[in-house]
Amino acid sequence: MTVSCPVKRMVEESLTDGGYRGSTMPTCRLCGSTYPREFFIHGNGPNAQVCVRCGVDHGLVTKEEVPVLFEKSAASARFSAVARRYSVFLYLPFLWILWGSTLSGVEPWGLFFLILLILLTLIAPVLFIYRGGQYSGDMARLTPSYDRPKGH
């Protein structure tokens, strides 16, 4: 359950980007996973210290009550934001392979594209870091508003 949990995946995305880094996160008493406080359901007694995923699984809350978990449009928008951010590291190796297999022997285009590829490879990490702030902003905007449970 902990492996396939979409909440855990979203949390890990936020973690790698510093969104929640440094804050201590509570542990769900049903599945034992650690999430940011926004991913916990509201209430006392049986609802205390339960993550949104387990809350739905155990019938403690309805899907409508936890938009953070089930907002389809937000989920796809978040996915495309992540894809936009990391796609460069997918197509750069692809371009290098393409160059090595077809263009490297062609004069003068082989050399021209080699220089272009080197420039692109050098610029990619710079742009990646430079756009990090914008990405964090996008992710924050795409996180449904869901109040933190009281006491968290």
**In the complex, which residues of this chain contact Zn ion (CB under 5 A)?**
28, 30-31, 51, 54
Cβ distance to Zn ion smaller for residue 41 or 81: 41
Least distance to Zn ion, CB of residue 28, Å: 3
Instruction: Classify each residue of 32-64 as buried b or exposed e, where b means 16 or more C-beta atoms within 10 Å of its C-beta.
Output: ebebbebbbbbeeeeeeebbbbbbbeeebbeee
**Burial class of residue 14 (count of CB atoms within 10 Å of its CB; 0-12, 13-18, 19+):** buried
Cβ distance to Zn ion smaller for residue 28 or 60: 28
Cβ distance to Zn ion smaller for residue 13 or 131: 13
Least distance to Zn ion, CB of residue 2, Å: 8
Least distance to Zn ion, CB of residue 30, Å: 5
- 93 upstream amide cis, omega within 30 of 0: no
Least distance to Zn ion, CB of residue 73, Å: 24
Cβ distance to Zn ion smaller for residue 54 or 61: 54
Alpha-carbon dihedral angle through residues 135, 140, 141, 147, given to the nearest 10 degrees: 170
Q: How far apart are CA 36 and CA 11, in angstroms?
A: 7
Cβ distance to Zn ion smaller for residue 4 or 101: 4
The single residue listed with the structure tokens 């953070």 is: 68
Least distance to Zn ion, CB of residue 14, Å: 17
7 touches 69 (CB < 8 A): yes
